[in-house]
Amino acid sequence: MSEHEQNMPKEGGVDHTLDLLNEGYYFILNRKNKFDSRVLETRLLGEKAICLVGKQEAELFYNEDYFTRVEAAPNRVKKTLLGEGGVQGLDGEEHRHRKAMFMNLMTKDSLDEISRLTREEWDHAIEANTQEELNVYDEAKRVLTRVALRWTGVPFKDEDVDQWASELGDMFEKASKVGPKHWKSRRSRSKVEDWIEDLIKDVRDDAIQVEQSRALYVFSNHRDLEGKFLDKHVAAVEIINLLRPIVAIAVFIDFVALSIQQFPEEAKKLKAGSAEDLQNYTQEVRRYFPFFPAAIARVKKNFTWQGYDFKENTLTLLDLYGTNQDPDLWHFPDNFTPKRFKEWQGSPFDFIPQGGGEFDIGHRCAGEWITIEIMKETLDYFINQISYKFPQQDLSYSMNDIPALPKSRVKIKHVEKIK
């Protein structure tokens, strides 16, 4: 061993998958603190796993010379959250080509449209509400399901929205669970995949008319690097890669509502606040509250980094939540301080709630801009467009549930549009 080489801190024991389920968002942070190291080794799902936390570590993780996504995601995650054959599991040219199919949808006009749809659907939901109390999470799922279906051009009937919301929800709400919930998540994915595959066939056969700018049309007619249509199943997985995460923004919206209850002084500043204030507050919600715990890859080839040996094919997790909470990167990370984003330098590696690195050449979330737009629109709506009260409820959330959500899902009462 040369003088710079060092042994990676290693957790003993046969397997720590159960600890991961028990410790949830704190799994990697607990080990980072125990070993006082941002790089460490443990065992998960029956194999060796390297865990990384921090900005430099994120930069390493997103270097595609060193890490691959091919066969990186565990099978149970593919069967529920991600699907099989989608952009998440591609590398190199194939990934770039497929990713461009997503990023080409993210134009200024299209983001403006999604904001408009979000406002329209919140109006629609609030006007139709007849209950004294409104469950923000459930309502946001319905609102976002309608936004997602309209934005992608997937035809739907009003009476089917609850079912769409529930099945798309199962894919991210139950993906990390075991037993019956896991199986429910798989069944919901299969059902939605079948439904979308039929639609893709109809679009290709000209049996239904869809606007040519809509994702359903674009993905149905997308050609791969060899000039062929995507396999129908893969095209369906990619359409669901738009629908499912748009509905999942309901998790962040529930945290937006919780933040308004918990930090009224910060929320008050948004009354007649600027667009920049809304943006900074939204960013702080995405930094402060837990959502997506870690990104997953495999070591592409043997290499040494900071003296540590990385062996080809080793499963590697980058702690997204831990990096957003890193006291070396964020001053008093436990404080909810939207104005910290005034000074943020915009690095693609320190603020990574939806992954890091580049959009086009890397695996950073294709829907990050959409997420921010929908959250800003909803935040403004909840601050400046409606009035309501928070009833007594259990707003605590558990850090070992993934995704974490307030127990009561945040209820509001006496909801009225401000005239």
Contacts of 46 (CB under 8 A, 6+ apart): 15, 17
Query: If you write DSSP's letter for every residue of 72-108 in order, what string do you get?
Result: TS-HHHIIIII-SSSGGG--HHHHHHHHHHHHTT--H
User: Least distance from C-beta 250 to ligand HEM, angstroms?
Assistant: 8
Complex with ligand HEM: residue 149 or 320, whichever CB lies closer: 320
Complex with ligand HEM: residue 405 or 415, whichever CB lies closer: 405
Q: Is 372 in the site for ligand HEM (CB under 6 A)?
A: no
Complex with ligand HEM: residue 270 or 296, whichever CB lies closer: 296
Q: What are phi and psi of 131, to 5 degrees?
A: -90, 155
Query: If you write DSSP's letter for every residue of 129-180 in order, what string do you get?
Result: ---SEEEHHHHHHHHHHHHHHHHHT----GGGHHHHHHHHHHHHHSTT--TH
CB 24, CB 400: distance < 8 Å? yes
Hunting for tokens 């809509």 — which residue is that?
214
User: Least distance from C-beta 375 to ligand HEM, angstroms?
Assistant: 9
Complex with ligand HEM: residue 13 or 346, whichever CB lies closer: 346
Q: What are phi and psi of 294, to 5 degrees?
A: -155, 150
User: Least distance from C-beta 154 to ligand HEM, angstroms?
Assistant: 13
Complex with ligand HEM: residue 52 or 366, whichever CB lies closer: 366
Q: Which is it for the CA torsion 134, 136, 138, 144, positive or negative?
A: positive
Q: Is 363 in the site for ligand HEM (CB under 6 A)?
A: yes
Which residue type is seen at 312? Answer: E
Q: Is 367 in the site for ligand HEM (CB under 6 A)?
A: yes
Complex with ligand HEM: residue 81 or 383, whichever CB lies closer: 81
- Expressed in angstroms, the distance from the first to the final Cα of the chain is 72
Selected range binding ligand HEM among 19-27, 45-53, 221-229, 237-245, rule: CB under 6 A: 237-245
CB 298, CB 72: distance < 8 Å? yes
User: Which pair of tokens denotes residue 240?
Assistant: 């669901």
Q: Is 85 in the site for ligand HEM (CB under 6 A)?
A: no
User: Which pair of tokens denotes residue 20?
Assistant: 């991961």
Using CA atoms, how far apart are residues 124 and 126, in angstroms rounded to an integer?
A: 6
User: Least distance from C-beta 246 to ligand HEM, angstroms?
Assistant: 5
Complex with ligand HEM: residue 338 or 356, whichever CB lies closer: 356
Q: Is 290 in the site for ligand HEM (CB under 6 A)?
A: no
Number of residue whose CB is nearest ligand HEM = 367
Q: Is 52 in the site for ligand HEM (CB under 6 A)?
A: no
- Return the residue of 241, 259, 282, 316 that touches ligand HEM, per CB under 6 A: 241
User: Which pair of tokens denotes residue 59?
Assistant: 């930069």
Angle value at C-alpha 298, between 295 and 302, nearest 5 degrees = 140
Q: Site residues for ligand HEM, window 132-191 (CB under 6 A)?
A: none
Q: Site residues for ligand HEM, window 242-271 (CB under 6 A)?
A: 242, 245-246, 248-249, 252
Contacts of 225 (CB under 8 A, 6+ apart): 93, 94, 97
User: Least distance from C-beta 364 to ligand HEM, angstroms?
Assistant: 6
Total interface residues for ligand HEM by CB under 6 A: 24
Q: Site residues for ligand HEM, window 320-359 (CB under 6 A)?
A: 320, 353-355
Q: Which residues bind ligand HEM (CB under 6 A)?
A: 87-88, 99, 102, 241-242, 245-246, 248-249, 252, 291-292, 295, 320, 353-355, 363, 365-367, 370-371
